[in-house]
Amino acid sequence: MHKYLLLFLCFLLILSCGENKIYDQYQSVDNLEWPSDTKFEFIVSNTDTISKRNVFINIRNNKNYEFSSLFLIAKIEFPSGYKLVDTLEYEMTNAKGEFLGQGFSDVKENKLFLREKVVLSEKGDYKFLIQQATRSINDIEGKNPLQGITDVGLSIEKVK
């Protein structure tokens, strides 16, 4: 009897975890090579101009990713045409060189904050563009193409 109760509680937990997600999409990196001029585009329709949300960039990487950090250029285009551009750095490994993120296989998934507790104050379509800008030391041109990133995603969640 306890076994069934535990399974039922796990099922409810799984269902409740997804309730606050508003948007969650991934795009695969072609041939596992991400050229620096390739931008991943996500279009998010918005009708709620009041609620606070967290916006995440989701990255899946495999063991071929050779850096401890990942540099990204993230651009948000508002329905009105206003544009917001950020250059971001995310840690991909710990001090021992072990990959951060979730996953039991060679692929790790990282959920990285883009915006915290933000209100999308305009109705309409928001365009999110994500581009890599990772460079080696003394590398002016950047790592082109970047190896080891398998998927790039965007998720938006309601703030509880």
Which pLDDT tens digit goes with each residue over 109-158?
999 999 999 999 999 999 999 999 987 666 666 557 899 999 999 999 99
CA distance linking residue 31 with residue 144, whole number of Å: 13
User: What is residue 7's predicted lDDT score, i.e. its pLDDT?
Assistant: 47
Give the number of domains in the chain: 1
User: What is residue 136's predicted lDDT score, i.e. its pLDDT?
Assistant: 67
Residue 68 in tokens:
């401890």
Task: Assess whether pLDDT exceeds 70 at residue 53.
Answer: yes
> Maximum distance among all alpha carbons in the chain?
63
Tell whether 106 is covered by a domain: yes
User: What is residue 12's predicted lDDT score, i.e. its pLDDT?
Assistant: 46
CA distance linking residue 135 with residue 131, whole number of Å: 13
pLDDT in tens, 9-49: 444 445 445 568 999 999 999 999 999 899 999 999 999 99
User: What is residue 160's predicted lDDT score, i.e. its pLDDT?
Assistant: 85
Which residues, in sequence order, are CB contacts of 121 under 8 Å at separation 6+? 49
Residue 105: pLDDT band by 50, 70, 90 thresholds?
confident
User: Is 17 exposed, middle or buried, given 0-12, 13-18 or 19+ CB atoms closer than 10 A?
Assistant: exposed
CATH assignment at residue 101: 2.60.120
Tell whether 11 is covered by a domain: no
Residue ranges of E strands in 38-148: 39-46, 52-61, 69-77, 83-91, 108-119, 124-132, 146-147
Domain hosting residue 60, numbered range: 20-158
